[in-house]
Amino acid sequence: MLKTNKTTEMKKLLIFASIAALFLGSCRENKTETKEVIREVHVEKTEAPSEGALERAAKKVDEKVNDKIDETIDEID
The kind and range of the H/E element at 31 are none
pLDDT band at 62; cut points 50, 70, 90: very high
In angstroms, the CA 26 to CA 21 distance is: 8
Q: Amino acid identity of 71?
A: E
**In sequence order, which residues have a C-beta less than 8 Å from that of residue 12 and are 6 or more positions away?**
none
For the entire predicted model, the pTM comes to 0.34
pLDDT tens per residue, range 18-34: 888 877 766 556 677 88
CA angle 67, 71, 73 (to 5 degrees): 115
Q: How many CB atoms lie within 10 A of CB 67?
A: 10
pLDDT above 80 for 10: yes
Write the single-letter amino acid at 45: K
